[in-house]
Chains A and B, each alone.
Chain A
Amino acid sequence: MRSTFIATTTELLADDPRAALVLADISAADFRSAARRHPDRVLNVGIREQLMIGVAGGLALTGLRPIVHSYATFLVDRAYEQIKLDLGHQGVGAVLVSIGGSYDASAEGRTHQSPGDVALFDTLGRWTVRVPGHPDEVAPLLRSAVRGDDAVYLRLSSQANAVGYAGADRLRVLRRGSAGAPLVVAIGPVLDAMLAATTGLDVTVAYTHTARPFDVAGLRELADRDVVLVEPYLAGTSSAVLGRALADRPHRLLALGVTEVDLHRYGDPADHARWHGLDAAGLRRSIAAFLPVGVA
């Protein structure tokens, strides 16, 4: 996903005179040739994340379309107030593109991880949040984001599903259960684990790469009583959105995701998926415990 982002952004910088890229050293080497061709629109401010967002706000105020990129924890967590004020409060947008969100950088430790990034955007409102599950989903999402003027967060991951899905901004049904069967929703790169976890169960499995705005209409159409949501960031991030969407009907919701625990462990992303119960076996355990007797 990161290499797709670099290639697509390089093309956008060449094709769209409004496009500008703001970096804080991360990935700067990958944009060296783009920076040579567009020195005024490829801006590496050094290791200064507050400034990175401030500069993006200033660029947007003059009519440019900033793409801003770093690790999620530096881009979002560290510069949260700049995102809130230098973009949101000024009434301008930007395209924020992160890597390493939850535990892609497992070997680097907690300092390089941000499972809470999407929850932070929920405190700000009006952000579109895209969580592609496959490299093929990245370029169309990035291109459409740069074409617009609004505030977009594109959360890239080194975890990916085997297949990418175009048009998955709405819930896309990948497996259809019987009438009234529980609905299982996967956001982004947790889909494959979810498909494996629900093999043989009478459930409907739907996928989306768009966390915000969440496809509420699609959810209401597909959901009956039991809903399971799996997202690749902080567990429960989307619970309020789904709760509001289904407020007028009796329902049960199981919200799975990365737990809030700082594990103080390294290892690889698969280890962390297992420790947070997001591997196929862990998901299966949680879902089986939640679903009505007879389904699982």
Chain B
Amino acid sequence: MSQSTTTADRVDPVGPLLTRITGDEKHGPSAHSTLDVLWVLYDRVLRITPETVDDPDRDRFVLSKGHGPAAFYAVLAAKGFIPESWLDDLAGPDSRLGHHPDRLLVPGVEIGSGSLGHGLGLAVGMVLGLRAQGLTDPRVYVLLGDAELDEGSNHEAIAYAGATGLDRLTAVVIDNQSATHGWPGGIASRFTAHGWTAGTVDGRDHEEIRAGLTGHRPGRPHAVVARVGVK
């Protein structure tokens, strides 16, 4: 893949939509870091459409790292979950799209997020709730950031999900090396130590991302570390 090709060019038609989101996007770099993973998820992995946003049997995508949701909104617009016109007014007084997403305002958004370290716990609960109702087809995908892993709440969820073998759960960690003290030994090992399967992929390479996102195995939760450029 050419180094001169921009991310937006490679996930057409999202590029123009991302450009369309104007206003004071306070977490710019983190928004772009997630773009390729989000596109692959919605284009090739998740079993969810605008028509099935309330279907109990849908896959769930949980954006835990609520910062910089411009790419998320652009993907939702590209896939028809929200009107493209919503992108023109980010965080305005009447806008449904803010600097952190709100599930009560945006169709297709599973959780309101922004405070770091909440998505994985909620996702664990979703997996358990689906299983208790006999819904064993849906997978729950959670997108986190490497710095977000600093939050101890994630480690409660990682340990529990691994110990109980929640194999309908996939965590995707966007690694732009923004954690202040880093993760010596690597991020994937934080998961595998607790019984998860884990893989590390190039977070700009769509085929690698797809392979990672579908690399789960029975009996274990799965983690994908998607490496992107340093923030």
**Which secondary structure dominates chain B's binding surface?**
helix
- Contacts known (A43-B128, A48-B160, A51-B156); A63 close to B121, Cβ less than 8 A: no
Q: How far is the CB of A61 from chain B (nearest CB, A)?
A: 6
Is A45 in contact with chain B by the CB < 8 A criterion? yes
- Give the size category of B's interface with A: 20 to 34
Would A58 and B132 be within 8 Å (CB), given that A51-B157, A82-B118 are in contact? no
- From A84-92, A101-109, A179-187, A204-212, the one touching the partner chain is A84-92
A55–B133 alpha-carbon span in the complex (Å): 15
Check if A64 sits within 8 Å of B129, measured CB to CB.
Answer: yes
Closest to A62 in B: B129
A134 close to B (CB within 8 Å): no
B129 touches A54 (CB 8 A): no
CA distance A64 to B110 in the complex (A): 16
Tell me the complex Cα distance, A27–B35, Å.
Answer: 45
Q: How many A-B residue pairs have CB under 8 A?
A: 100
Pick from B104, B118, B121 the residue with the most CB of A within 10 Å. Answer: B121
Task: Knowing A45-B156, A91-B103, say if A40 contacts B112 (CB, 8 Å).
Answer: no
Determine whether the beta carbon of A61 is less than 8 Å from that of B129: yes
Count contacts on A: residues with CB < 8 A to the other chain: 29
Complex Cα–Cα for A20 and B135 (A)? 16
Chain A contacts with B in 45-89, Cβ cutoff 8 A: 45-46, 48, 50-51, 53-64, 66, 81-82, 85-86, 89
Separation of A48 and B153 alpha carbons in the complex (Å): 8
Q: How far is the CA of A112 from the CA of B132 in the complex (A)?
A: 32
In the complex, whether A41 has a CB less than 8 A from a CB of chain B is yes
Minimum C-beta distance from A149 to chain B (A) = 14
- Contacting residues, chain A, for B159 (C-beta < 8 A): 46, 48
Instruction: Tell me which residues across on chain B come within 8 A of A90, comparing CB atoms.
Output: 103, 111-112, 122
Given A61-B126, A91-B103, answer yes or no on A51-B132 (Cβ-Cβ < 8 Å). Answer: no
Residues of B within 8 A of A20 (CB): 128-129, 132
- A85-B112 contact, Cβ under 8 Å, with A50-B152, A62-B56: yes
Mark each residue of chain A from 107 to 127: 1 if its CB lies under 8 Å from any CB of chain B, else 0.
000000000000000000000
Distance in Å: Cβ of A41 to nearest Cβ of chain B: 5
- Tell me, in angstroms, the Cα distance from A86 to B111 when the chains sit together: 8
Q: CB-CB < 8 A to A48: which residues of B?
A: 156-157, 159-160
Contact pick for A50, options B102, B156, B163, CB 8 Å: B156
B52 interface hit (Cβ, 8 Å)? no
Residues of chain B within 8 A of A46, CB atoms compared: 159-160, 163
Q: Please, how many angstroms separate the alpha-carbon atoms of A117 and B35 in the complex? A: 41
Binding site for B on A (CB under 8 A): 20, 40-41, 43, 45-46, 48, 50-51, 53-64, 66, 81-82, 85-86, 89-91
Ranked 4 nearest A-B pairs via Cβ: A58-B125, A54-B121, A62-B129, A55-B125
Contacts A53-B121, A62-B125, A90-B111 known; list 4 others, CB within 8 Å: A43-B128, A50-B152, A64-B133, A85-B112
